[in-house]
Structure 1
């Protein structure tokens, strides 16, 4: 069953930064194909998006093969080995919260804004599914939530970061934000942070532990797992037993942890479909007045095996006369 949250994500309104800029980041993209069983009507929009995403660029095939040994310099940096020129492990990072607030995003000190209220409404049913509130018991891996979209530029990274920030405000919950858009990672860019080793490095090396690549932040209840280096076998890595074991470990190790995955678009790469199949909950971001019904239907068809799918209608126009009819001062 698909439930629809007709909540806007106000960061895309004219008075804030456009949400599509929060999904834009340079990076190689592995070659993949899109299932086209009933996607003919969406083909022109998908083709244009694939070209913009760099999906058909031969240079996208860069990256080590699955199972390749981890680069010694990178491994020594992660392990903190005392080698000349080796960097210290990236275990902590400072997020510029004032910058995020200026971008119109959710922050702990940002006050009772319209965007904060939107994501309070959006997160509540997701948390109920985790805790088993109401007549439905807790769902399997309900604390693993993937945020995706049909096409690039719809604001999925904007929504993933805001959702993570909003859930991190809960009194008894910690949040791990995972940049799983390994083709074009953008979470660190949105947060104003430099590239770091992460998910792909973890899947490629049996010498690394999750704790080696997770970054704690100045938001005490929020940690980040970067995407790491790109790899042409990203889909296979995300579908591997190693990834399944990692997800099971993440889901069960900490009872109070919610994990938010920023995923690639469903109609552009195959990684998103692989990720969604392993999640307890899926959040599909739809750009208002831009994404066609055909594209949305094809995206939903690709995740029809997922039992808990929710939609965010993003980039809607503000109500005339002010947000929430002047509720805020």
Structure 2
């Protein structure tokens, strides 16, 4: 090959090298794949106020004080403070009732907002009443995908359906789309893995489940097996004692069950009384619904 041919051949290879170098540089400068992020929703404080629900930052109302006192034994059990022993999986808390209409969503919402106001705690409120989800409506926003979608769609992960709120420290996991086999799905290995993931991801987080009524559907009895604590909401005026007893029978797998009397008449000079249902000893937490 002549000197001229060699020079021509060398020049022909340069564009290929340049293209390779350019492609490498473009690959290095290309943005990283987007990580799924939870979207943000706005809790309607005026709507909360209208329902008698605690509004963050509004000072020392009677409702706020009652739920401050109500959350304390739950937090002590969850983190093992103030002489209370740390309960295994105590950060997993289910709020339920025996019958519909006793105020369990009212209680779940107030508890979540009150815990979110703690300086060093966060709370994830899970709407596990998949047949009749009420958390978005109660807080004044709309939600679509949620818990059931993560459990049934392998292409979805928890961050895809979490909802960050305008209350610092409070995140919501909606119920998602209803499913005909919800009981079996909530009893599945996928649900156990999801609960474990939620529990282990942040050690300062309370995971609060708003559950269906125990005597209305089979899901809460299944969910109770995964919980460290259960709050049983009882309407002080209307719930028959026999219904409470039958509901309690479904919670035998949970060692810590706290009962809360809702719409109870105030005791003279006292607005609140707190305690436990623990290991067969039944005490009551007294809270009066404002709406």
**TM-score, with length taken from structure 2:** 0.78
Determine which of 87, 92, 106 is the counterpart of 2:40: 92
Aligned partner of residue 313 in structure 1, secondary structure: strand
User: Relative contact order (alpha carbons < 8 A, sep ≥ 6): 1 or 2 greater?
Assistant: 1
TM-superposed CA distance for 1:102, in Å, is 2.7
- In 2, Cα distance between the equivalents of 1:213 and 1:317? 40
- Structure 1 segments of 4 or more deviating over 4 A? 318-324
Q: Sort the Cα spacing of 1:254 and 1:316 in 2 relative to 1 into closer, same or farther, 3 A.
A: same
Aligned partner of residue 268 in structure 1, secondary structure: coil
* 1:140 pairs with 2:88: yes
Asked whether the equivalents of residues 101 and 110 of structure 1 are also in contact (C-alpha less than 8 Å), the reply is: no
Q: Say what the alpha-carbon RMSD is for the aligned residues.
A: 2.1
Determine which of 163, 168, 171 is the counterpart of 2:111: 163
Match for residue 257 of structure 1? Answer: 205
- In 2, Cα distance between the equivalents of 1:278 and 1:141? 8
* 1:232 pairs with 2:232: no
* 1:268 pairs with 2:216: yes
Match for residue 99 of structure 2? Answer: 151
- In 2, Cα distance between the equivalents of 1:94 and 1:147? 23
- In 1, Cα distance between the equivalents of 2:254 and 2:100? 21
TM-superposed CA distance for 1:133, in Å, is 2.2
TM-superposed CA distance for 1:98, in Å, is 2.4
Q: How does 1:98-109 map to 2 (within 5 A)?
A: 98-109=46-57
Q: How does 1:1-329 map to 2 (within 5 A)?
A: 91-318=39-266
- In 1, Cα distance between the equivalents of 2:247 and 2:271? 30
Q: Sort the Cα spacing of 1:319 and 1:98 in 2 relative to 1 into closer, same or farther, 3 A.
A: farther
Deviations 1:43-96 (A, max 9, x none): xxxxxxxxxxxxxxxxxxxxxxxxxxxxxxxxxxxx99xxxxxxx987110001
TM-superposed CA distance for 1:135, in Å, is 4.8
**TM-score, with length taken from structure 1:** 0.69
Aligned partner of residue 94 in structure 2, secondary structure: strand
In structure 2, stretches of 5+ residues that fail to align are 1-32, 273-291
Larger gyration radius, structure 1 or structure 2 = 2
In structure 1, stretches of 5+ residues that fail to align are 1-78, 81-87, 325-329
- In 1, Cα distance between the equivalents of 2:72 and 2:270? 24
Aligned partner of residue 219 in structure 1, secondary structure: coil
- In 1, Cα distance between the equivalents of 2:267 and 2:175? 37
Q: How many residues align?
A: 239
Aligned partner of residue 92 in structure 1, secondary structure: strand
